[in-house]
Homo-oligomer: A and B are copies of this chain.
């Protein structure tokens, strides 16, 4: 894992494509080299399938944290949402009903980065309080929501 690998992986996500061409053009790395690197990443277990999905544990982003966010002015949530979403490592931000104003999910590489994350939250003007929860194990972390349904249910609920 070096800078080129990271450039390639990030480009794949950014461009939302599996095309080696597009990645090559965006990074300036020759097509055949992109291909060669991707093969290595595949063998190393970082890339897991034909859709070039990344195994975050293998990559090193193996810490998962849930952060409940309480804001000062509930009216301003439209302002706070984007700010929370901008914090490095945050992958999901939900504006919720009930006590908590926002629920955020983050993926992090180290314990130090958790401290950094929390202080980034606390530094936001509208945030009054946060409550962080470490995830011990991810029992299920599906990126493929349809797999959690039987075909029958999907047809029943969604077919027109």
The answer to whether A145 and B18 touch across the interface, beta carbons within 8 angstroms, is no
Complex-state Cα separation, A148 to B54, whole angstroms: 14
Assembly CA distance A91 to B147 (angstroms)? 9
Say whether B134 contacts A97, CB under 8 Å: yes
Q: Is the CB of A6 within 8 A of B155?
A: yes
Q: How many residues of A contact B (CB 8 A)?
A: 75
User: Closest CB-CB distance, A18 to chain B, in whole Å?
Assistant: 6
The CA-CA distance from A94 to B67 in the complex, in Å, is 13
Q: State whether A144 touches B88 (Cβ < 8 A).
A: no
Tell me what chain A mostly uses at the interface: helix, strand, loop, or mixed: mixed
User: B92 near A141 (CB under 8 angstroms)?
Assistant: yes
- Bound form: Cα–Cα A61–B146 in Å: 9
Chain multiplicity (copies): 2
Q: What sequence of 0s and 1s flags, for each residue 1-36 of chain A, a beta carbon within 8 Å of any chain B beta carbon?
A: 111001101100111111100000000000000000
User: In the assembly, what is the distance between CA of A151 and CA of B13, in Å?
Assistant: 12
Can you show 11 pairs from A to B with CB atoms below 8 A apart? A6-B155, A13-B145, A17-B49, A66-B96, A88-B148, A91-B145, A94-B136, A96-B134, A96-B135, A96-B136, A102-B139
**A binding-site residues for B, Cβ under 8 Å:** 1-3, 6-7, 9-10, 13-19, 48-54, 56, 59-61, 64, 66, 81-82, 84-85, 88-98, 100, 102-103, 107, 109-110, 113, 133-151, 153-155, 157-160
